């Protein structure tokens, strides 16, 4: 494995961590008005992710930094071509972060209802747009011979990308509902189980539809081959397994299954792309790859040394954070976040 492939794989790992960890954060935000019937209940739902949500977002910031340093041409084309979509996502994330802090600044019901709505929007929009971005990267976008995106914003809103976005939103919502069941006490715990039973089958159906659409609208399966092509089927199997565990009320295992499903989905997308990082719909020869979009070998070598030192420290710290804040959030828990 050369350094280009190594960093492509590491970026995939960063996205896996982001989708698993920030995925349930988005799900909790989306479910906020549906499972929290009172202000205190909504506060407890926010408390469930309060100590970890900002740390979870670091995964995607690190992924963006890794793309910038390891594959600068990929970063330039992605952020210039997807500029409007990424701006909307950034605006939603800023509003979401502000809402977590500002909703407690005033006890007026209208004030808190407004910021709760911002949390929902700030969670749902990125959950949708991340799928749209990944769908376009997999299907292909208009990139010319100079590695420049020559399309518009509407090019990104094609049926396949929107289906991918709906799939990620439904998967995150299911993931968040299961997390809430594990982190909450009654009555939120009961409502979270009901929400899982409602949204889970929708997420499973959308994943199946996404895989079928990927087969017909992209070259993913022809590139994956027979054996690696089994990976996306395992993603469906993991979601089906999550449903079985939900029916048996073994929610810890159900959460593990949704984590596996999200991980396998990202693995499938990156395997289908490799060695490309962005597909050109104008000419396959104009696609960006891990070689024509990469930094120098020296840069990749230095980055590898830095990652080897600091990544274990970050993982240990985040694992410690989850351990410290592992208790359930119930009526007896102080509303401190």
For every residue of 173-199, DSSP letters joined together read: HHHHHHHHHHHB-TTHHHHHHHHHHHH
Does 331 score more than 90 pLDDT? no
Residue 252's pLDDT is: 93
Per-domain residue ranges for the chain?
Answer: 3-142+149-324
Mean pLDDT of 319-324: 90
Does 329 score more than 90 pLDDT? no
For residue 13, count other CB atoms closer than 10 A to its CB. Answer: 17
Mean pLDDT of 43-66: 90
Residue 337's pLDDT is: 43
Residue 229's pLDDT is: 61
* Residue 54 Ramachandran class (φ > 0 left, ψ -120 to 50 alpha, else beta): alpha
Task: Give the pLDDT confidence of 247-293 residue by residue, as tens digits.
Answer: 999 999 999 999 999 999 899 889 889 999 999 999 989 999 999 99
Nearest-angstrom CA–CA distance, 171 and 127: 9
Does 60 score more than 70 pLDDT? yes
> Architecture of domain 3-142+149-324 in CATH?
Up-down Bundle (1.20)
Nearest-angstrom CA–CA distance, 323 and 184: 16
List, in sequence order, every residue forming a beta bridge with 143; answer none if it has no partner. 149
Task: Give the pLDDT confidence of 138-191 residue by residue, as tens digits.
Answer: 999 999 998 889 988 888 899 999 999 999 999 999 999 999 999 998 899 999
**Assigned token pair, 67:** 């793309």
Residue 225's pLDDT is: 60
Nearest-angstrom CA–CA distance, 176 and 35: 11
Residue 16's pLDDT is: 95
Nearest-angstrom CA–CA distance, 180 and 257: 15
Task: Give the pLDDT confidence of 210-255 residue by residue, as tens digits.
Answer: 888 988 888 877 776 655 567 878 888 898 999 999 999 999 999 9
Q: Are 4 and 300 in contact (CB under 8 A)?
A: yes
Nearest-angstrom CA–CA distance, 97 and 89: 12
Residue 163's pLDDT is: 95
Nearest-angstrom CA–CA distance, 26 and 23: 5
- What phi, psi does 276 have (nearest 5°)? -80, 155
Least confident segment among 128-137, 177-186, 307-316, 323-332: 323-332
The model's confidence at residue 132, banded by pLDDT at 50, 70 and 90, is very high
Residue 335's pLDDT is: 56
């Amino acid at each position: 494995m050369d350094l280009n492939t190594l960093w492509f794989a590491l970026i995939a790992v960063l996205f896996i961590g982001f989708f698993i960890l920030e995925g349930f954060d988005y799900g909790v935000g989306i479910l906020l008005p549906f499972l929290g019937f009172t202000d205190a209940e909504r506060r407890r739902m926010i408390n469930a992710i309060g100590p970890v949500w900002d740390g979870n977002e670091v995964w995607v910031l690190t992924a963006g930094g890794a793309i910038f340093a390891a594959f600068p041409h990929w970063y330039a084309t992605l952020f210039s071509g997807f500029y409007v979509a990424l701006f909307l996502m950034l605006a939603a994330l800023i509003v979401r972060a502000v809402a977590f802090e500002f909703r407690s600044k005033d006890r007026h019901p209208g004030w808190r209802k407004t910021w709760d709505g911002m949390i929902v929007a700030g969670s749902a929009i990125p959950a949708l747009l991340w799928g749209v971005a990944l769908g376009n990267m997999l299907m292909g976008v208009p990139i010319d011979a100079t590695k420049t995106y020559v399309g518009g914003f509407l090019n990104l809103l094609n049926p396949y990308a929107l289906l991918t976005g709906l799939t990620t939103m439904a998967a995150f919502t299911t993931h968040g509902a299961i997390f809430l069941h594990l982190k909450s006490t009654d009555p939120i715990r009961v409502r979270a189980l009901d929400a899982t039973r409602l949204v889970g089958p929708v997420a499973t159906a959308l994943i199946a539809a996404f895989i079928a659409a990927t087969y017909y609208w992209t070259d993913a399966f022809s590139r994956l081959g027979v054996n690696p092509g089994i990976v996306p089927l395992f993603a469906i199997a993991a979601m089906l397994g999550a449903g079985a565990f939900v029916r048996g009320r073994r929610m810890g295992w159900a959460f593990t299954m949704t984590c596996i499903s999200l991980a396998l989905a990202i693995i499938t997308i990156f395997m289908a792309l490799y060695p490309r990082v962005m597909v050109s719909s104008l000419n396959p020869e104009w696609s960006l790859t891990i070689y024509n979009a990469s930094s120098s070998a020296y840069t990749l070598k230095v980055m590898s040394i830095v990652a080897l030192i600091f990544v274990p420290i970050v993982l240990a710290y985040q694992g410690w954070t989850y351990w410290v804040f592992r208790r359930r959030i119930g009526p007896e828990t102080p509303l401190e976040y």
